[in-house]
């Protein structure tokens, strides 16, 4: 080791001399997440890392190298494409197109009214129906959305949070109509309300009843829908809001801790529900930092579940995650450059060991993606899978001095944040005090300042700009969609058994004021074609609505 130090000192002096000839080069480089990057990494940088206890083998505790023994040598990740716009009919066509192009899983984007529990005919829905996702007002819409798509053959992810229990009930009811039993269903609902209070804002109810709904889903699915991932604890939106890589890991796992604690407090055994917990991470441009981030998250979660919660089932300790490439890195300027960015982010997710992946489309900074753009995004995954060679071996970057050192740094930084959140009383308390939100805002501010000062280069935005014509052929949602959805609701209400709906909504209202699991009541109301808005309004009446402190 002494010889190595001498060699490094001599090399460093030589480098310094060379750098003096290039004054325009920065003296200090920062990773995408803000960590200082050294000029050279050597065995000294990983001297404190034990390869057996800290890194281990794939498919074994602490899962640093992956949650499956064979990883992609056994089976490739699930290639999902997040899609949903306008009506259920149009989105159904897009899903069938994606399946034809080789997509192995569906990922449903809902419009804003659906995300906050309003029907399309509600006055607050005006102007937003079908804009950022598909409008789903009732079981009728869900039946149309999955028409001709066998739910026992596909895995479906639904990005829905506050009304997640209602949309899951609709999915179960559609499957029943197809003759598919709940135990055959595979997929995920996001169902992560804490990150809504932190980063997105599509919440409905206050934290306590929201956590009750989440644990009700945990309990119900552990018995009735055993292959379903009952939550996707999301760091994606935390990163999109401006967090660093370390903060993304820390705040996501802190939220995960809160969900586990809530489920245990509700009387569930950790190994009964923890195997169905899943995570959702962002994949940014800094390829090697992102790989290290994913490895760090796995190791941390394994330690938390084993040592903090006493989980004995290996599936409870293994962090499974979906990845989406970073929407916030997409630029309206020179949108074809986004294909390159998404490719880098895809490589990071794959080399980091993701279980499923959505690749963003080149035109998403401008509009909903066209079919051509979606095809290119999916082909990006397929080329990485079948042509790049990075999926041919498990954890291809393990042993890299830089990657192992950065993995350890992210672990230590995330641990420090989690300890601070514990001191504040856990993630919900830290959110109430605004601690997590402030940390993210500070990070976002520094990131933006680095772009404005050109310390950080964004190609086509603050350097290498060109004169551009406005892009043509963008996908726009027809305003007539809102009129169409309103007429559908009116027709549904005229045809259904209104007395039965009223009785079932009354039963749900009474259950809200008891300790009973609400999922069976929601499912019965959905089967009778009660609308999303009607079901959520009952819960609004009984639980109240959350108002962020900053809005008071």
Instruction: Inform me whether the pLDDT recorded for 367 exceeds 70.
Output: yes
Residue 302 confidence (pLDDT)? 98
194 located within any domain: yes
As given in the structure block, the two tokens for residue 487 are 């007429």
Instruction: Inform me whether the pLDDT recorded for 551 exceeds 60.
Output: no
| 471 — pLDDT class (breaks 50, 70, 90) | confident
463 located within any domain: no
428 located within any domain: yes
Domain count, the chain: 1
| 467 — pLDDT class (breaks 50, 70, 90) | very high
- Which residues face 325 on adjacent strands? 283
d(CA 334, CA 95): 28
511 located within any domain: no
d(CA 304, CA 327): 30
Residue 550 confidence (pLDDT)? 54
Residue 20 confidence (pLDDT)? 67
Instruction: Inform me whether the pLDDT recorded for 351 exceeds 60.
Output: yes
126 located within any domain: yes
| 25 — pLDDT class (breaks 50, 70, 90) | low
DSSP string, 38-93: -S---GGGGTT--IIIII--TTSTT-TT-SSSSGGGT-PPEEEEEE--B-HHHHHH
d(CA 342, CA 325): 6
Q: Residue 180: which domain range?
A: 81-392+402-452
Residue 273: CA atoms inside 13 Å, Cβ hemisphere, count? 24
Nearest to 292 by CA among 248, 252, 256, 343: 248
d(CA 31, CA 48): 22
The 3-state DSSP class for residue 335 equals coil
Q: How far is CA 23 from CA 17, 20, 96, 453, 456, in A?
A: 11, 6, 55, 18, 17
Residue 347, domain CATH: 3.20.20.240
What's the maximum distance between 2 C-alpha atoms anywhere in the chain?
85
Instruction: Inform me whether the pLDDT recorded for 146 exceeds 90.
Output: yes
Percent of the chain with pLDDT over 90: 83
d(CA 81, CA 29): 34
Average pLDDT, the chain: 93
| 279 — pLDDT class (breaks 50, 70, 90) | very high
Neighbours of 528 (CB within 10 A): 19
Q: Is the dihedral of CA 395, 358, 262, 186 positive or negative?
A: negative
d(CA 55, CA 72): 19
Q: Considering only 48-57, 387-396, 485-494, which range has the smallest mean pLDDT?
A: 48-57
d(CA 315, CA 83): 29
Q: With left for phi above 0 and alpha for psi between -120 and 50, is residue 25 left, alpha or beta?
A: beta
457 located within any domain: no
214 located within any domain: yes
Neighbours of 132 (CB within 10 A): 16
Residue 84 confidence (pLDDT)? 84
Residue 4 confidence (pLDDT)? 67
Nearest to 273 by CA among 226, 234, 306: 226
| 552 — pLDDT class (breaks 50, 70, 90) | very low
Instruction: Inform me whether the pLDDT recorded for 2 exceeds 70.
Output: no
Residue spans of alpha helices (H) in 179-224: 194-195, 207-224
Q: Considering only 30-39, 338-347, 513-522, which range has the smallest mean pLDDT?
A: 30-39
Neighbours of 399 (CB within 10 A): 11
Cβ burial of 421 (10 Å; 0-12, 13-18, 19+) is: buried
Instruction: Inform me whether the pLDDT recorded for 120 exceeds 70.
Output: yes
Structural contact between residues 346 and 357, judged by C-beta atoms closer than 8 angstroms: yes
Residue 29 confidence (pLDDT)? 80
Structural contact between residues 167 and 158, judged by C-beta atoms closer than 8 angstroms: yes
d(CA 61, CA 303): 9
322 located within any domain: yes
310 contacts: CB under 8 Å, gap ≥ 6: 270
d(CA 33, CA 229): 29
Instruction: Inform me whether the pLDDT recorded for 357 exceeds 70.
Output: yes
Residue 7 confidence (pLDDT)? 75
Percent of the chain with pLDDT over 70: 96
pLDDT tens string 155-207: 999 999 999 999 999 999 999 999 999 999 999 999 999 999 999 999 999 99
């Amino acid at each position: 080791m002494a010889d190595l130090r001498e060699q490094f000192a001599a090399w460093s002096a030589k480098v310094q001399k060379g750098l003096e000839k290039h004054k325009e080069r920065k003296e200090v480089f920062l990773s995408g997440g803000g960590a200082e990057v050294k000029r050279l990494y050597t065995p000294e940088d990983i001297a404190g890392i034990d390869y057996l206890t800290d890194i281990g083998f794939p498919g074994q505790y602490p899962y640093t190298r992956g949650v499956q023994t064979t990883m992609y040598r056994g089976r490739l990740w699930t290639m999902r494409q997040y899609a949903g716009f306008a009506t259920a009919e149009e989105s159904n066509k897009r899903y069938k197109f994606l399946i034809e192009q080789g997509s192995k899983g569906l990922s449903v984007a809902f419009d804003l009214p659906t995300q906050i529990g309003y029907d399309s005919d509600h006055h607050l829905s005006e102007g937003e129906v079908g804009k950022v996702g598909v409008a789903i007002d009732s079981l009728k819409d869900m039946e149309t959305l999955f028409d001709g798509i066998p739910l026992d053959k596909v895995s479906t992810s639904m990005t829905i949070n506050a009304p997640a229990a209602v949309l899951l009930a609709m999915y179960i009811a559609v499957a029943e109509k197809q003759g598919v039993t709940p135990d055959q269903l595979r997929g995920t609902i996001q169902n992560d309300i804490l990150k809504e209070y932190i980063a997105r804002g599509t919440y409905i109810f206050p934290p306590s009843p929201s956590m009750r709904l989440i644990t009700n889903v945990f309990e119900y699915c552990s018995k009735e829908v055993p292959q379903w991932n009952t939550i996707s604890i999301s760091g994606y939106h935390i990163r999109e809001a401006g967090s660093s890589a370390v903060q993304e890991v820390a705040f996501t796992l802190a939220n995960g801790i809160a969900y586990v604690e809530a489920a245990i407090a509700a009387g569930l055994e950790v190994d009964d529900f923890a195997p169905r917990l899943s995570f959702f991470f962002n994949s940014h441009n800094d390829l090697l930092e992102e790989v290290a981030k994913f490895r760090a998250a796995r190791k941390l979660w394994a330690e938390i579940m084993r040592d903090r919660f006493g989980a004995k089932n290996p599936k409870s300790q293994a962090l499974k995650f979906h990845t989406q490439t970073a929407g916030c890195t997409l630029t309206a300027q020179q949108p074809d450059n986004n294909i390159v960015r998404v490719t880098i982010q895809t490589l990071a997710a794959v080399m980091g060991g993701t279980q499923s992946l959505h690749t963003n489309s080149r035109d998403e900074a401008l509009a909903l993606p066209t079919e051509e753009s979606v095809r290119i995004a999916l082909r990006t995954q397929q080329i990485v899978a079948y042509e790049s060679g990075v999926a041919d071996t498990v954890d291809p970057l393990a042993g890299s001095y830089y990657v192992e050192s950065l993995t350890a740094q992210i672990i230590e930084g995330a641990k420090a944040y989690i300890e601070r959140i514990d001191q504040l009383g856990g993630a919900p308390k830290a959110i109430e005090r605004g601690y997590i939100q402030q940390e993210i805002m500070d990070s976002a501010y520094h990131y933006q300042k680095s772009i404005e000062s050109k310390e950080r280069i964004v190609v086509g935005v603050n350097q290498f700009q060109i004169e551009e014509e406005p892009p043509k052929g963008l996908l726009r949602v027809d305003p007539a969609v809102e009129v169409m959805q309103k007429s559908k609701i009116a027709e549904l209400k005229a045809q259904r058994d209104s007395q039965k709906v009223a009785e079932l909504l009354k039963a749900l209202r009474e259950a809200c004021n008891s300790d009973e699991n609400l999922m069976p009541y929601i499912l019965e109301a959905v089967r009778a074609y009660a609308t999303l808005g009607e079901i959520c309004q009952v819960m609004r009446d009984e639980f109240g609505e959350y108002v962020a402190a900053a809005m008071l």
